[in-house]
Amino acid sequence: MPLSRRWRRRQTRPRRHLTASNPNVQADPTTRTLKSRMGEPGPAAASPENAVAANLFEDLPPRYDRLTEVLSLGQNGRWRRELVRHLARFKPRRILDVATGTAGVAIALANATDADIVGIDISEPMLDRGRRRVYDAGLDQRIRLQHGRAEELPFSDASFDAVSFTYLLRYVADPAATLAELGRVLRPAGGMASLDFYVPPIAVWRAGWRLYTRLLMPSAGFALGGRAWWKAGRFLGPSIEDFYRRWPRYRLYEAWREAGLVDVEERILSLGGGYVMRGRKHHA
């Protein structure tokens, strides 16, 4: 049974007041538009970090869901359930799932709530795979997937009752500004939750994690999914460590606070392999 830490809470107050509008307002295509047609400049080209993500995931979708479970040693689904449980408690009517990928989290949220869900991602191949999964699950009337960037969401203020994002902040140029943008579209008192990989804090587990991410995961990825998965496996370990060197947990807490979130909690899962954060938007 994988070990995990209990939820840790840091009481916070937002440093600034974020203007909020009607939480029931729909997306406003007249104020923030994104081009996503082939041949037109789109969200994926907006920053080097975005380009890394778009290129990394371009060839992964056909076997992405199965291989993600295998390469995470079966833990990805467990981490996802932690995120979904938190947001379901808010009884949301509209949820935004950012970095939705193949819509795994969006589908889980739809199954756990009665909400309508918008998923956004910069990878068209991942979205295409996600749309097929949504249709096969019979959820195409409740889940809508669209191309776009987390850093510039095409929605009005306070448009959603809950916001989720997974494996996102390592692929944006400014994590704090991205969190502020996510907070902008969340209604006051709404819930936000995130999921990402983490570096085990205990030395013995960290050594095993480094062995796995540097050697075993790329090799297993190549054996099971070919060169694209070998490339992704090689990239992940150094990417995760570099991110947390630049953005240790206290900086992430601060960024959530400045984005208007309070009651921010964290949970480190699976001996330190997974990291879930959650909070709610300050009630204006």
User: Measuring CA to CA, which residue among 179, 167, 195 is closest to residue 268?
Assistant: 195
Query: CA angle 25-26-32, nearest 5°?
Result: 110
CA-closest candidate to residue 200, choices 90, 89, 75, 113? 75
Domains of the chain (ranges, CATH numbers): 19-281 (3.40.50.150)
Summarised one tens digit per residue, pLDDT across range 239-269 is: 999 999 999 999 999 999 999 999 999 999 9
Long-range contacts of 62-69, Cβ-Cβ distance < 8 Å, separation of 24 or more: 62/129, 63/224, 63/225, 63/229, 64/101, 64/102, 64/126, 64/129, 65/102, 65/104, 65/133, 67/221, 67/224, 67/225, 67/229
58 in Cβ contact with 81 (< 8 Å): no
State residue 45's pLDDT score: 47
**Gap between the Cα atoms of 168 and 162, Å rounded:** 16
pLDDT digits (tens, 9 = 90+) for 202-246: 999 999 999 988 988 888 878 877 888 788 888 888 999 999 999
Query: In terms of Cα–Cα distance, which of 205, 183, 187, 186 is closest to 272?
Result: 205
Residue 72 or residue 176, greater confidence: 176
DSSP-derived letter for residue 216 is I
pLDDT on residue 6: 58
Asked whether residue 44 carries a pLDDT value surpassing 60, the answer given is: no
pTM: 0.81
- pLDDT value of residue 234: 84
For the chain, give percent helix, strand, coil, nearest 5.
45, 20, 35
What is the C-alpha separation between 140 and 188, in angstroms, rounded? 28
Q: If you search the block for the tokens 């949301």, which residue do you land on?
A: 92
